[in-house]
Amino acid sequence: MSNLSRRNALSLGVALGLVGAASVVPAWASTTATDPWWVWDDEVDRLMAGVLDTGGVPAVNTALRSWVDNADPLPAGLPADVAAWLQGANRLPSWADPAKLRRAADFNRRKDTYLFLLYGLGSGIMSTVIPREARSVYWSAGGAAMQDRAAKTFTFGYDLSEARAFEPSGQFVVTANKTRLVHAAVRHLLPQSPHWRAVADERVPISNGDILVTFHSLGTFVHRKLKEWHVPMSAADEDAFLHQWQVAIHLLGVRDEFIPKTWAEADTQSAQVLTPLLAPTPEGKELAADLLGLTAQIDLGVTRGFLNEFVRYVLSNEVGDWLGLPRDYAAATLIRTGWPAYIAFREGLLPIAPAGFYLFDQFIRALAMLFLNKGTSSTSTPITIPTGNRPGA
């Protein structure tokens, strides 16, 4: 689809998690001449529209099932044009720094407990108060199967955090390219939903700007919380963590000119295009209830009140009020006093484990396991291209 035809299309939104602005998109915090809100993924969009329109998605999904590791050859059975596109896309950018990526992998290993919590309860629940994201996810196929969708979303972050994520034996490069195919498919499918069109307020789905906003709800948010919690990080660790995300969003199709060069630049962008636009929606409230309700399927060792208060602690009481999360003041007190002590002990700043250490430790690890392939703990969750939207949409 050409840029001109996109601009003349009916109001379109974004789907499957890579969105992030409310009704009015502010000016982008960038010195570049091009606006990322008007940059998409034209070539892969055209390819996936053709696959969908000819009924070829099941065959493509079957072919992609065996394609897992970065070093795996492209599978047979793909349409020639899709295979040719993947052959060119399935590689790291020339500017990727192997030493920084290895350091990021080590950083992820050392801080995995905090990352599980912040990606899961922080970024995951934040997505439900990003209006366009909440509405688009709700009306897409994934919105009707939130545990499966949560598992697949978690897998994206899990593959990114793996020790060899970007190396031949890792999986993230393949995961990113599969995700890019899914986004292109959703861009073709979701505008066909009259329910979604009735609430959509963006003319073009999943622009580079939208992907960057989601990066801010993930990487920028996590970096900021780690600093707020006084988690020890060297300057080299912080730089490596940013570089990992720079490579990741490049692999999702973001132009290099839009990718933040420093955490200061990322914080500036986030303050302009994410934080002021967070707001509740009916769709988001239902999605949050679904996500938090998943914990009833596995023993996290805590009460629902504890879970609700941890969401409030990580995101704010305002977000908790938007989502209608009942208060549990005893749990809130335990978290406010126990979590800083938990971090201090894990980082070697306290000689004796504080009260509640085991509770926090088991809670976070169980939360991670919940989303890894529906709690059955697999090394990966299959990413499949959808063939439709939410049933009935």
pLDDT tens digits, one per residue of 266-304? 999 999 889 888 999 999 999 998 888 876 566 666 778
pLDDT at 315: 96
pLDDT value of residue 153:
65
pLDDT score at 353: 86
Report which of residues 29 and 392 the model is more confident about.
392
Is the pLDDT at 1 greater than 50? The verdict is no
Residue 100's pLDDT band, with cuts at 50, 70 and 90, is: very high
Q: What pLDDT, on the 0 to 100 scale, is given for residue 339?
A: 95
Query: What is the full DSSP assignment across 239-290?
Result: HHHHHHHHHHHHHTT--GGGS-SSHHHHHHHHHHHTGGG----HHHHHHHHH
Q: Quick check: 366 pLDDT over 90?
A: no
Asked whether residue 337 carries a pLDDT value surpassing 70, the answer given is yes
Task: Give the per-residue pLDDT at 13.
Answer: 24
Contact between 191 and 9 under an 8 Å Cβ cutoff? The reply is yes
Q: How confident is the model at residue 113 (pLDDT cuts 50, 70, 90)?
A: confident
* Closest of 298, 263, 262, 244 to residue 115, by C-alpha: 244
- pLDDT, greater one: 363 or 260: 260
Distance CA(40)–CA(59), nearest Å, equals: 26
pLDDT over 90 at 376, yes or no: no
Instruction: Give 147-182 pLDDT, tens digit per residue.
Output: 666 666 666 777 788 889 999 999 999 999 999 999
Q: What is the pLDDT of residue 61?
A: 97
Does the pLDDT at position 11 exceed 50? no
Report the pLDDT value the prediction gives residue 87, as an integer from 0 to 100.
94
Residue 254 CA to residue 237 CA, distance in Å, equals 23
Average pLDDT over residues 224-242: 97
pLDDT at position 382 is 75
Q: What is the pTM of this model?
A: 0.87
Length of the chain (residues): 393
Residue 140 bridge partners (DSSP): 389
Select the more confidently predicted residue: 354 or 150.
354
pLDDT-wise least confident of 113-117, 311-315, 342-346: 113-117
Contacts of 292 (CB under 8 A, 6+ apart): 125, 304, 307, 308, 311, 325
Contact residues for 281 (Cβ-Cβ < 8 A; gap 6+) = 129, 131, 134, 135
Cα angle, residue 343 at apex, residues 340 and 349 outer, rounded to 5°: 100
Give the pLDDT score at 213.
84
- Angle (CA) 242 151 100, round 5°: 20
pLDDT > 60? residue 265:
yes
User: Does the pLDDT value for residue 91 go beyond 70?
Assistant: yes
- For 15-67, what is each residue's pLDDT tens digit? 223 333 333 455 555 544 578 888 889 999 999 999 999 999 999 999 999 99
Inter-residue contact 187 to 15 (CB < 8 Å) = yes
pLDDT of residue 10: 21
pLDDT for residue 137: 87
Residue whose pair of structure tokens reads 């789905």 in the numeric block = 205
Task: Supply angle C-alpha 8, 9, 14, rounded to 5.
Answer: 130
* Chain centroid offset of residue 234 CA: 25
Rounded to whole angstroms, the Cα distance separating 108 from 142 reads: 28
User: What pLDDT is recorded for position 354?
Assistant: 87
Mean pLDDT over each residue of the chain, to the nearest integer: 84
Task: List alpha helices for 65-128, DSSP H.
Answer: 80-89, 98-110, 112-117, 124-126
Residue whose token pair is 């801080």: 111
Compute how many other C-beta atoms are within 10 angstroms of the C-beta atom of residue 204: 22
pLDDT at residue number 64: 96
CA distance 38 to 357: 48
Q: Which residue has the tokens 């971090």?
A: 343
Highest mean pLDDT out of 9-23, 77-91, 157-171, 355-369: 77-91
- 167, 159 contact by CB (below 8 A): no
In percent, how much of the chain has pLDDT > 70?
83
Backbone angles phi, psi at 389, to 5 degrees: -100, -165
